[in-house]
Structure 1
Amino acid sequence: MIDCREPSRLVAFWAEALRYRPQPPPDGHPTWRDWYLSVGIPGEELGEGDCADRLEDPTGAGPRIWFQPVPETKTVKNRLHIDLKVGGGRGVPVVERRSRVDAEVARLTALGARVLGSMDDPDNGYYSAQLADPEGNEFCVV
């Protein structure tokens, strides 16, 4: 579960970032909004839209993620930190890993992420970038 102000915004971002997909609503319900109403959540608490607030791994291997709406914005350090491992690990030359990380950073910033910094330590064979999602949650690309 990830707390957020705008679940639909983060569902769209993280679906692309993780190569996940929005989780379909339970059987018999055309939208998540319809399902929430069916279990007694008042419509005024749901806001606008279809309330799509969950992601799933299309392969079924990764965890499902629920984006829980909360009234406050992020104000302190994350309690959860995701590392997107795209570089290939230490068995891949650091020059190649840097290229892979930079390409992923470019893809993610085009989706709405913001670059916070990087760690470039070629002597120790390390390269990574720290980013923030559209609501400011930090994550790394390594």
Structure 2
Amino acid sequence: MPARFKDLALDARDHQALADWWCTALGYTRRQDTGEEWPAEWPVPIHDPAGQGPLIWINPVPEAKTVKNRMHLDVWGVPEEMEALGATLVRRRDDEIDWSVMTDPEGNEFCVFEEER
């Protein structure tokens, strides 16, 4: 086996704000590896406090997103609730796809799968 999955990484111009947004959306919290102050310019690691989801690093970058993601997150959720948090609906679930395509506040695409109720 040449590799094992470690973490996910997501680029953002305002990585602090986007880390907060994804924490709210996923129920994640910021993870600090040490008791020291985490410098604001460093990437922000966020994690699932229940230990179910992967660690996600929100990395600062100077450029805005300009093209479609080649990799994206799939989440369980309710598109309308994601919109209320600031996500943008790109395509609603329909007869052709079983998920809604959305973007986070910085334009990163993700798919929302609605759990059966």
TM-score by length of 2: 0.78
Equivalent in 50, 54, 57 of residue 63 of structure 1: 54
Equivalent in 82, 86, 94 of residue 108 of structure 1: 82
Q: Aligned letter for 2:73?
A: I
Shift in alpha-carbon separation, 1:81–1:28, aligned structure 2, 3 A: closer
Q: Does 1:138 align with 2:112?
A: no
* In 1, Cα distance between equivalents of 2:62 and 2:43: 17
1:38-53, aligned counterparts within 5 Å? Answer: 46=41, 53=44
Higher helix fraction (1 or 2): 1
For structure 2, list consecutive stretches of 5 or more residues without a partner in the other structure.
1-8
2:93 corresponding residue in structure 1: 119
* In 2, Cα distance between equivalents of 1:134 and 1:83: 16
Task: State the Cα distance separating 1:141 from its structure 2 match.
Answer: 0.9
Paired residue total: 105
Secondary structure, counterpart of 1:32 in structure 2:
coil
1:28 corresponding residue in structure 2: 35
Stretches (4+) displaced over 3 A: none
Please say if residues 11 and 55 of structure 1, whose CA atoms lie closer than 8 Å, have aligned partners that are also in contact: yes
* In 2, Cα distance between equivalents of 1:28 and 1:141: 35
RMSD of equivalent CA atoms: 2.0
Shift in alpha-carbon separation, 1:52–1:75, aligned structure 2, 3 A: closer
Task: State the Cα distance separating 1:11 from its structure 2 match.
Answer: 0.8
Q: Aligned letter for 1:109?
A: E
* In 2, Cα distance between equivalents of 1:116 and 1:19: 23
The percentage of aligned residue pairs carrying the same residue is 41
Task: State the Cα distance separating 1:52 from its structure 2 match.
Answer: 7.1
* In 2, Cα distance between equivalents of 1:120 and 1:65: 29
For structure 1, list consecutive stretches of 5 or more residues without a partner in the other structure.
37-45, 87-103
Secondary structure, counterpart of 1:72 in structure 2:
coil
* In 2, Cα distance between equivalents of 1:26 and 1:140: 30
